Chain A
Amino acid sequence: MRLARQVAKRLGVFAITLLGASVVVFGITMALPGDVAQVLLGTDATPEALARLRAQLGLDRPWLVQYLDWLGGMLTGDFGVSHLSGDSVLSLLAPRLAVTLWLVGFAMLLSLIIAVPAGMVAALKRRSWQGVSVSAAAQVGMAIPVFWGGILLVMVFAVWLRWLPANGYVPVHKDPVGWAEHLILPVVALALVQAAILIRYVRSAFIEVLNEDYYRTARSVGWTPMRALLRHGLRNAAISLVTILGLQVSAVLVGAIVVESVFTLPGLGSLLLTAVSQRDLMVVQGTVMFLVFAVLALSAAVDLSYLIIDPRQRSREDES
C-alpha cells in the first residue's frame, strides 16, 4: 500500500512540524522579561500578590510541566484563557474564524480565477505583446503591498464612487447583501496581490507543458494551442501548481490578517492585534498556535490532493 504509506508519511511530517512550532511559540512567550504575573499586576505589585497570582496561573511550576499542560490542553481543544477578560481563547476565536475563512476562501478562489487564464495567456503568447504585458502586470502587482492595494480600492470605490463601504462587517445571516458589500473590497485586495504572485507560477507551469511531448502530440492531431493546453495542460500544470498553492497558504493567511486591519474586519487578525496591544499573552499564544495549525493542516491537505490529480501517484498501489 504505497498510497497509505505516503499519506502516513505526510501526516507524520505534519505532526512533527506542529510539535516543533509549538515549542518555538511556547519558548518565545517564556522569554518574556519578568513574567505574565508581573505584566498583569504592574511593577509596583507586592511580592506576595505576585506569588499568589503565579500559583493561581500555574507559573510556579517547571517550564516543561507548563509546556506539556499547554500542549495537552490544545490537543483537547483548550487554547487557554485570556488573563484579561477571563474568556477562553476558543470562545474568542470561534466567532471571528468565520470572517477570516470567508475572506481567505473567496480570495483564494478569485485569485485562481484570475491567475489561471492570465498565466495561460502569458505562457502561450509569451513572445507577443499580450503575454509580455500580462507578465509585466504581474511583476507590478507583486510589488504592491496588500494594505496599500486595499487603501487604493477604498479610495476609488468607497471615497470617490461611493459604491461600497470603506470598512466594517455584517454577518451573513443578518444581512446577506450588506455582508457581500463589506467583503467585496477586502477579497479583491487580497486576491489581486495573490493572483500577481500566482500568475508567474502558472505561466512557468504552462510553459513546461508547452515543451512537453504530449502537448506536441495533441497539436499534431489537430488541437489548437489554447484547446490543447486546456485539454491536456490544465491537469498536468495543476500537479505543479498544487505544490505552489500549498506554499502560498501561509502567505494568504498573513495577507488576510493585514487586510482585516485595513478594512477593520472583526476576524482573527484583529483579535491578534488587539491582544498584542493589550499584551494579552495567552490569547496571542493560542491564536498564533491556531493559525500555525491551520497553515500546516491546509498545506498538508493541498500536498495530499495531488495524489488525486496525478494518476501516477494513485496507481502505484496496483503495482505493489
Chain B
Amino acid sequence: MKRAQLVAGLVLVALIVITAVVSVFWTPFDPIRVVPSERLLPPGWPHVLGTDGFGIDILSRLMVGARTTLVVGIISVGLAVLIGVPLGMLAGQVGGWLDEVVMRAADVVYALPALLLAILLAAVFGASTVTAMVAIGVATIPAVARVARAGTKQVMAADFVLAARVAGTSRWGVAGRHVLPNIAPVIGVQASVGFALAILAEAALSYLGLGTPRPTPTWGNMLRDAQQYLFVMPIQTVWPGLAIALAVLGFNLLGDGLRDYLDPRLRELP
C-alpha cells in the first residue's frame, strides 16, 4: 500500500515530465496563435479537449503549461534548496546567536507567504514569471532550512561524527563528508513536498494575474480565462484544474512515498 503511493507518485510525475518534454518538440496545434474562427469549440476532433476563447487548442496549451509549471517549480525549489540547505546547516552546526538569527529570519519569511511576496514584487517590478519564481523560491527557503538544520543537529550529535571529530576531521570536513549525505534524503522529501506547494503557488499567482502573463500558457492563467466562459462552456474550467491537481497529487505522493521508503519510522507522521 505504501509502496503503491510511491509508484503512483512516480507515474504521475513522469507523466508530467514527459508531457512537458514532448511539448518542446510537438503539440497538436499552435499553443499561441489566435484562430478567431474556432473559438470555444467543445471537446471533439481534432481539438480533443476543445478550444478556448481565442480559438486555441486547449490540449496544446495544457502541454506547454506543464513545461511552465515544471520550470517554475525547478527554479524556485532549486533556489530554496541552494539557499536554505547551507543556511540550515550553518545554523545547525554553529548554533548560538547565528542559529537564532537564521531562525528569526525564517519567521520573517514565514510571515510573508509566497502570495504576499509576489504581490509586492509584482507591484514594484510588474508581474512576470521571474517575480513568481523569486517569490515562491524565497517563501520555500524556511521549510528547507528548518529541515536541514534539524538534520544537521541530529547528525552532529551522532557517535560517528564525534569519532570523526576526535580523529581530527575539521568541522567543515564533517559537514561535507557526513552531514550532507545524511540529510540529503530528508531534503529530497522536503523538496518533493515543496515542489507540490510551488505548483499550487504558481497556479494561484498566474490565476490572479501575478505570474506568467498571456499569451504564454500556464494552467493558472488558463483557468482564469476559462472562468469567463463558466456559464457558456463550463467544461473548460475542468482541464487546467485537473492538470494542477494531478501534478500536485503526484509530487505529494512522491514525497510521502519517499519518506516512508527512506525511513519507516516516520510512517505515522503527516
Contact = CB atoms under 8 A, between A and B. Distances in A.
Interface of A: 13, 16-18, 20-21, 24-25, 28-29, 31-33, 132, 139-140, 142-148, 151-152, 154-155, 159, 166, 200-201, 203-204, 207-208, 247, 250-251, 253-254, 257-258, 261-262, 272-273, 275-277, 279-281, 284-285, 288, 291-292, 295-296
B268 A148 contact: no
B256 to A, nearest CB: 8
Main secondary structure of the interface of A (DSSP, over half): helix
Interface string B240-267: 1100111011001100000000000000
A300 to B, nearest CB: 11
Contact of A28 (B121, B237, B245, B270): B121
A166 to B, nearest CB: 7
Nearest to A150: B227
B241 A148 contact: yes
B162 to A, nearest CB: 31
A151 B107 contact: no
Contact of A139 (B210, B249, B268): B249
Q: Chain A CB within 10 Å — which of B114, B209, B248, B268 has the most?
A: B268
B204 A258 contact: yes
Interface string B1-28: 1000000000000000000000000000
A103 to B, nearest CB: 15
Nearest to A200: B270
A144 B245 contact: yes
A25 B138 CA distance: 14
A254 B111 CA distance: 11
B48 interface: no
Given A17-B111, A152-B241, A142 B248 contact: yes
A253 B113 CA distance: 10
A16 B121 CA distance: 23
22 contacts: A13-B107, A16-B104, A21-B112, A25-B112, A25-B120, A29-B120, A29-B123, A33-B125, A142-B248, A142-B249, A142-B252, A145-B200, A145-B204, A148-B223, A154-B230, A159-B234, A208-B268, A254-B116, A276-B119, A276-B123, A276-B210, A279-B123
B124 A32 contact: yes
Contacts of B249: 139-140, 142-143
B45 interface: no
Contact of A257 (B115, B123, B196, B240): B115
Given A20-B107, A273-B119, 14 more contacts: A139-B253, A142-B252, A144-B245, A145-B241, A152-B237, A152-B241, A154-B230, A155-B230, A159-B231, A203-B270, A257-B115, A273-B208, A284-B123, A295-B113
A20 B108 contact: yes
Interface of B: 1, 104-105, 107-108, 110-117, 119-125, 127, 196, 200, 203-204, 207-210, 223, 227, 230-231, 234, 237, 240-241, 244-246, 248-249, 252-253, 268-270
A276 B111 contact: no
A296 B104 contact: no
Contacts of B120: 25, 28-29, 284-285, 288
Contacts of A207: 268
Contact of B104 (A13, A132, A140, A281): A13
A261 B208 contact: yes
B248 A143 contact: yes
Contacts of B208: 257-258, 261, 273
A152 B121 CA distance: 30
Contacts of B268: 204, 207-208
A76 B140 CA distance: 33
A21 B244 contact: no
Indicate the member of A262, A272, A292 with the most B CB atoms within 10 Å: A272
Nearest to B208: A261
B226 to A, nearest CB: 8
Contacts of A145: 200, 203-204, 207, 241, 244-245, 248
A146 B197 CA distance: 12
A203 B268 CA distance: 9
Contact of A24 (B108, B244, B252): B108
